[in-house]
């Protein structure tokens, strides 16, 4: 595969051993490309920012795992966001008390295309090869990238499996991925590109704001839109359907049991200022009232907030002893880490609706310990067929590929289920295919990977532990 090398460097007024010891810490972040890493060891999650343009205009946030560590000398990072690749950091002496930190990224063709597209250059159009084209709008950059780490990989795995089984009605399938950058306007622009390229369906593995933008752009244009991650519901039509968990079901599994085990009853709601948190918090008000609790306060922040000190102060002043978070991605990471650092965990217990394995890994074992969530899939949950799925995923993408999560496994399921519908009715309309997908739950044979009920998924309750999210219970079926 043809690659391009991109390099950047900084000089730090400390020795290589001192700089290495500070790598990923809050004190060292400004020196080593904004790196955040709780422990410099092989397998640890890491995020950092590469300065690839003037005045930060084209900086790139890289999310991955450390795959090789040579103390005070070399760190290798294997990453999937914003493209799949490897990054090497080298620490070399620069004078008697300085260190030159060099970052060298080997960027594959898709990474070069991403960088050019970020700067406004149109992507090349694939040749017309007779394939059935499916679009996937995921989040490779921006605050949502944390929760989307394995989404594109899972979409790719589904398409590869479909093609290995003969394609759809004798035609191969081509996946056209796109990054919405956690921005609804960007999602709309990518949807326009996908309909121009002839995609029959577009799977939106991103925020409710992006789904709504895509749904509006593609209304009446004969393209099926499928929202594949947890959402607040609403906004559906025969050509726009929504899969994934709903907050009312998650809250039924979390609110009353958390109050019963802790003896606490005063809740503070923390979320984002857009439709997902609005819907989730309305459901929370009802669930908390039914459980005999009360809402002591609420704070909504813009998507992309990094400083939650005012929110944490508001939680303290409210006297709340329970916190419900509907934050997503990097916002959730920042809030939970800052809550733990500020000592808020000493007086409150937190549940989070959008907490999955990738987000927890970036929150870290200390700040993530004890957080609770309820989702339809966890990588370590013994759902029928899951061990085989994880094995195929690791064989395809390697040891350091990010975890399969509830926010990526659903896109895999949705593509497979859509392929079966299209195989039965290759000439049908987008509306007909959407209605067939909505009926597929009636044929579901239990919670089995590849044929799961995506409209009313079985929920499992999990708790953050030092080793990751551990399933601690199974929620009652939703009504």
Cα separation, 355 vs 407, whole angstroms:
10
Query: Can you tell me the distance from the alpha carbon of 302 to that of 219, in angstroms, rounded to the nearest whole number?
Result: 28
**Could you tell me the residue ranges of all domains in the chain?**
3-109, 132-245+383-460, 247-375
Grade residue 8 by pLDDT with cuts at 50, 70 and 90. Answer: confident
The residue with tokens 């996908």 is 194
Output DSSP code: residue 326.
-
Out of 3.40.50.720, 3.40.50.2300, 2.30.33.40, 3.40.50.300, which CATH number does the structure's domain 247-375 have? 3.40.50.2300
Question: Can you give the pLDDT at residue 58?
Answer: 63
| Tokens linked to 147 | 């929760």
As a whole number of angstroms, the distance between CA 63 and CA 182 comes to 15
C-alpha to C-alpha distance for 269 and 314, rounded to whole angstroms: 11
Determine the pLDDT at residue 441: 55
Note the Cα 223 to chain centre separation in Å. Answer: 24
What pLDDT, on a 0 to 100 scale, did the predictor assign at position 6? 80
The Cα–Cα gap between 422 and 60 comes to 38
Within 10 angstroms of residue 83's Cβ, the number of other Cβ atoms is: 22
Alpha helices in 86-133 (DSSP H): 109-118
Mean pLDDT of the chain: 92
| Predicted confidence (pLDDT) per residue in 344-365, tens digit | 999 999 999 999 999 999 999 9
User: How far does CA 282 lie from the centroid of its chain?
Assistant: 23
* Six-digit token string for 325: 């978070």
What are the two backbone dihedrals, phi and then psi, of residue 13, each rounded to the nearest 5 degrees? -85, 55
d(CA 80, CA 148): 10
Say what the pLDDT of residue 175 is.
97
Tens digits of per-residue pLDDT, 193-232? Answer: 999 999 999 999 999 999 999 999 999 999 999 999 999 9
Write the class of the CATH domain 3-109. alpha beta
**b/e for 142-176, b at 16 or more Cβ within 10 A?**
bbbbbbbbbbbbbbbbbbebbbeeebbeebebbbb
User: Nearest 5°: CA angle at 211, between 47 and 282?
Assistant: 90
pLDDT of 23 > 60? The answer is yes
Confidence of residue 35 (pLDDT cuts 50, 70, 90): confident
Q: Which residues pair with 11 in a beta bridge?
A: 100
* pLDDT on residue 27: 64
What's 455's DSSP letter?
S
Cα separation, 229 vs 72, in Å, equals 41
Which whole number is the average pLDDT over 70-92?
94
- The tokens describing 246, both together, are 């709903």
pLDDT in tens, 150-171: 999 999 999 999 999 999 999 9
**What's the pLDDT score for residue 57?**
57
Q: What is the pLDDT of residue 445?
A: 54
- 132-245+383-460 adopts what CATH topology? Rossmann fold (3.40.50)
Q: Is the pLDDT of residue 3 over 90?
A: no
Highest mean pLDDT among 12-21, 56-65, 423-432: 423-432
- Say yes or no to pLDDT of 53 above 60: no
Residues 243-291 have pLDDT tens digits of: 999 999 999 999 999 999 999 999 999 999 999 999 999 999 999 999 9
Question: Does this chain's domain 3-109 share its CATH topology with 132-245+383-460?
Answer: no
Q: What is the pLDDT of residue 120?
A: 85
Angle subtended at Cα 156 by Cα 151 and Cα 158, rounded to the nearest 5 degrees: 95
Render pLDDT for 290-299 as a digit per residue (tens, 0 to 9). Answer: 999 999 999 9
pLDDT in tens, 85-121: 999 999 999 998 899 999 898 888 888 889 888 888 8
Backbone phi, psi, residue 35, to 5°: -65, 145
Mean pLDDT of 48-75: 82
């Amino acid at each position: 595969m043809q690659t391009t090398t991109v390099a950047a460097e900084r000089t730090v007024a400390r020795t290589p051993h001192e700089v290495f010891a500070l790598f990923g810490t809050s004190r060292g972040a400004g020196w080593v490309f904004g790196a955040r890493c709780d422990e410099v060891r092989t397998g640890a999650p890491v995020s950092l920012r590469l300065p690839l343009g003037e005045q930060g205009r084209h900086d790139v946030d890289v999310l991955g795992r450390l795959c090789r560590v040579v103390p005070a000398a070399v760190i290798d990072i294997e990453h999937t966001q914003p493209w799949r690749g490897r990054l090497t950091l080298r620490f070399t002496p620069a004078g008697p008390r300085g260190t030159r930190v060099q970052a060298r990224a080997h960027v594959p063709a898709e990474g070069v295309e991403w960088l050019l597209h970020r700067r406004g250059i149109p992507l090349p159009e694939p040749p017309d090869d007779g394939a059935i084209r499916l679009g996937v709008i995921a989040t490779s950059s921006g605050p949502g990238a944390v929760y989307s780490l394995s989404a594109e990989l899972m979409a790719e795995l589904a398409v590869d499996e479909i093609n290995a089984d003969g394609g759809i009605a004798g035609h191969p399938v081509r996946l056209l991925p796109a990054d919405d950058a956690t921005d609804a306007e960007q999602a709309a622009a990518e949807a326009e590109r996908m309909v121009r390229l002839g995609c029959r369906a577009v799977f939106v593995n991103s925020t409710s704001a992006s789904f709504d933008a895509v749904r509006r752009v593609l209304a009446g244009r004969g393209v099926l839109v499928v929202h594949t991650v947890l959402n607040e519901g609403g906004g559906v039509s025969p050509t726009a359907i929504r899969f994934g968990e709903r907050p009312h079901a998650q809250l039924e599994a979390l609110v009353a049991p958390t109050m019963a085990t802790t003896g606490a009853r005063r809740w503070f709601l923390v979320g984002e200022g857009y439709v997902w948190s609005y819907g989730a918090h309305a459901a929370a008000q009802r669930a908390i009232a039914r459980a005999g609790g009360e809402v002591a306060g609420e704070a909504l922040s813009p998507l992309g907030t990094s400083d939650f000190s005012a929110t944490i102060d508001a939680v303290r002043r409210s006297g709340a002893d329970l916190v419900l978070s509907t934050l997503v991605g990097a916002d959730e990471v920042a809030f939970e880490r800052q809550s733990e650092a500020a000592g808020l965990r000493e007086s409150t217990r937190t549940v989070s609706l959008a907490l999955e394995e990738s987000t927890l890994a970036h929150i870290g074992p200390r700040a993530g310990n004890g957080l609770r969530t309820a989702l339809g899939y966890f990588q370590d949950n013994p759902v029928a067929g899951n061990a085989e799925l994880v094995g195929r995923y690791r064989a395809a993408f390697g040891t350091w590929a990010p975890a399969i999560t509830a926010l990526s496994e659903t896109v895999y399921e949705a593509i497979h289920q859509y392929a079966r519908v299209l195989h039965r009715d290759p000439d049908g309309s987008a509306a007909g295919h959407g209605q067939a997908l909505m009926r597929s739950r009636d044929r579901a044979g239990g919670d089995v990977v590849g044929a799961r009920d995506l409209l009313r998924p079985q929920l499992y309750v999990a708790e953050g532990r030092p080793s990751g999210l551990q399933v601690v219970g199974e929620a009652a079926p939703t009504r």
